[in-house]
Structure 1
Amino acid sequence: MPEGDTVWQTAKRLHHALAGRSLTRFDLRVPRFATADLTGRTVLDVTPRGKHLLTRIEGGLTLHSHLRMDGAWRVFETGRRWHGGPAHQIRAVLGNVSHTAVGYRLPVLALLRTEDEAGVVGHLGPDLLGPDWDTGTALANLLSDPGRALGEALLDQRNLAGIGNVYKSELAFLARVTPWLPVGGLPEGVPERLVVTAHRLLDANKSTFDRRTTPGGTAAARSSRLYVYGREGLPCLRCGSLIRKATQGDGGGGERVTYWCPGCQSGPTA
């Protein structure tokens, strides 16, 4: 599930493989940019911004991509066989003499001027893993609509950038409230702890490489990677109640899966 920590890891791998090297291959397999050819230009850096990836290239250009639900960038040593999906799912290929980066199932892929990056990421709130992270601003954003359900507010990237379904469910559990509780109904001190905990968890998991984990405390809790996400029908690690699952609006017209413990978490449910 690509969330802020996954995107941070992806950017790190891409930056290590591409930055400072000239492109020997540049292939965008989307109609609008299919004729673009940037071979010979140097990749300057690969920067994550929330769930967005910005690959900056010599000449004032940026390749903007977003993984959404199932997109992925794979990096291979040049000449090695690619894997990550069938060939028809490949949307981008960036190669140099030592490495090739292949983008699979990328729902968002666009080539733009670097000076226009604000047009695609300028709306985002503070990045939980970025240099612009600011606890106070993120907290103010989260509390700006007291009647909004906590789960929707956490998923809204305009409030704070980097949280997806996994962290939404886990953060609500840690706060002991359901994701449907209005933000204005959170107990005193909980909003502040939520924001601090979100930053702590993503920072702790940004280098774990597909081993995202949130539990702590008891040995039983530590043996599980997550408290509630993906654990429908299993006993809660704290109280033993069976974890439940339902869908919840994401604030943008879509529905997202949500997990919670009816024993530990108070507030309205689906």
Structure 2
Amino acid sequence: MPEGDTVLQTAKRLHSALAGQVLTRSDLRVPRFATADLTGRTVLDVTARGKHLLTRIEGGLTLHSHLRMDGAWRIYAPDERWRGGPTHQIRAILANAAHTAVGYRLPVLELLRTRDEEKAVGHLGPDLLGPDWNADTALHRLLADPDRPLGEALLDQRNLAGIGNVYKCELCFLARATPWLPIGRLPGPTAVLLVSTAKQLLEANRDRPDRTTTIGARPRTAAAPAPRARRPSEKLWVYGRAHRPCLRCGTPVRVADQDTRPTYWCPHCQAGPTP
């Protein structure tokens, strides 16, 4: 599932290609909106809200989309071949004289009044990459259910918006806690640091083509030994590193499902319950 930084980059690309331009083609391939015609309207802007994309269009309309597990928006030049997937996976086409934006495998696609955007995204917590970011509110929401596993609380977009499975695993590693630890058992300073580190990581990666968490976000505990020297390919602390040595201690990283998502952790560096 794309994370907040990836969705923000997608929004920037769509904004660059569509904003300020008149649509010469629109095709929404979902039954509810199949007859909607946006041709002749100007795209005003494309904005990310957490993991949601809001394409605002002249006339008070917003096209709301969400990528979830494998959705994607691709942008093509007029004569460029479309390579995002087979035709039957296309859910949306928005084109102007210079660019065509094609949405593939979009599980959420709806056209709504701009004034009603809150119905689609109003449930979200503070956006880690948005102007509404508020660390105190995010911390309060995270700790509202102290018995909830840390990993599940981080993934709940109602607490703070933008964290996906990669950041969940990396943040738990940096907090030295397993994703199954009840969040209320985190020491207060660690919980505060967890929120600020989440903000730091997404901000650091908001413009990077390749996400990395091992540069500029080392584990911050006095007892933690200095990580060993890293190769450029070692961009993540634990995610995707099952059975490979932990970058801090050398213990093989483990993997198990948490709420159907593969979850990685170091059994030596991270304290707390495990499956």
Q: Does the pair score TM above 0.5?
A: yes
1:213 maps to 212
The normalised TM-score by structure 1 is 0.96
1:257 maps to 262
Q: Which amino acid aligns with 1:214?
A: T
> Is the contact between residue 149 and residue 180 of structure 1 (CA under 8 Å) also seen in structure 2?
yes
1:233 maps to 243
CA offset digits 1:196-251 (Å, max 9, x no partner): 00011001101112x000013653266401111111010000111111111112xx
| Partner SS, residue 252 of structure 2 | coil
Output the CA distance in 2 between the equivalents of 1:173 and 1:38. 46
| Partner SS, residue 112 of structure 2 | strand
2:271 maps to 266
Residues 1:8 and 2:8 are matched in the alignment: yes
The normalised TM-score by structure 2 is 0.94
Output the CA distance in 2 between the equivalents of 1:219 and 1:237. 8
* Count of matched residue pairs: 264
1:224 maps to 234
Output the CA distance in 2 between the equivalents of 1:266 and 1:145. 20
1:182 maps to 182
Output the CA distance in 1 between the equivalents of 2:77 and 2:233. 35
Segments of structure 2 that go 5 or more residues without pairing to the other structure are 219-227
1:58 maps to 58
Q: Which amino acid aligns with 1:182?
A: P
CA offset digits 1:68-117 (Å, max 9, x no partner): 01000001112211111111111000000000000010000000111110
Aligned sequence identity (%): 72
Output the CA distance in 2 between the equivalents of 1:150 and 1:101. 37
Output the CA distance in 1 between the equivalents of 2:184 and 2:138. 15
1:71 maps to 71
Q: Cα distance, 1:256 vs. partner? A: 1.6
Output the CA distance in 2 between the equivalents of 1:244 and 1:160. 26
Output the CA distance in 2 between the equivalents of 1:91 and 1:159. 30
| Partner SS, residue 172 of structure 1 | helix
Alignment of 1:194-213 (within 5 A): 194-209=194-209, 211-213=210-212
2:145 maps to 145
1:252 maps to none
Output the CA distance in 2 between the equivalents of 1:222 and 1:38. 46
Output the CA distance in 1 between the equivalents of 2:121 and 2:257. 27
Q: Which amino acid aligns with 2:6?
A: T
Give the root-mean-square deviation of aligned CA atoms: 1.0
> Is the contact between residue 233 and residue 243 of structure 1 (CA under 8 Å) also seen in structure 2?
yes
| Partner SS, residue 243 of structure 2 | coil
Moved over 2 A (4+): 216-219
| Partner SS, residue 59 of structure 1 | coil
